[in-house]
Amino acid sequence: MPLTPFHPVLPWLPYVRWPRAFSWWAVTLGAMVPDLEVVPMFLVSGDIYIARGLMHSLLGALTIDAAVTVVAVWLLVPRLIRWVDRRWPGTHILTFAGQDLRRDPRDLPTLYASAAFGALTHVLVDVLNHAYNPVLWPWQKGPLNLLPFSDQLWYDLFTIAIWSVFLVVMMRKFWRR
């Protein structure tokens, strides 16, 4: 079970290879946005293991998740960039894989494609890490469970360790370079 901050690691791989084809901000936020529904779904259902719905489906990734991400990038990223520039002037903190994130593409087609790609990677990673996956919602009639041991503590700890290593390697290799 990769925790929410670990989800962007996978879509960062193509970004590193083709940085001008993607928006780093949209790929990163898009990979985390599906988890926005977990807390409200948990409060409604009372079960953390089934706290996934529309935003964890292919349909949700291409619609709701992408739309929320595009709006967040348009509204929040410029403010974040200004804050970082004021807080740490003259640093390269907004550099990833040799790209200045201040100059990240902001056109709608690139933002949408990047956001949808990030959200799709989240949904597909979760298929291997959770017993309840509404991937084909609303057409799916039951949970999609590809691994019989997903959501077991030993598997959760194992996957968290693997994703932690993956995140550290990506950050060390590409952050500020």
Going residue by residue through the chain, which has 177 residues, state the pLDDT in tens, using 9 for 90 and above: 567 888 899 999 999 999 999 999 999 999 999 999 988 888 888 877 777 888 889 999 999 999 999 999 999 999 999 999 999 988 888 999 999 999 999 899 999 999 999 999 999 888 887 777 788 888 877 767 777 777 777 877 888 898 889 888 888 888 865
Handedness of CA 135, 137, 139, 144 (dihedral sign): positive
Domain that holds residue 13: 4-174
User: Nearest Cα to 25, choosing from 33, 34, 36, 37?
Assistant: 33
What is the pTM (predicted TM-score) of this model? 0.88
Instruction: Provide the domain count of the chain.
Output: 1
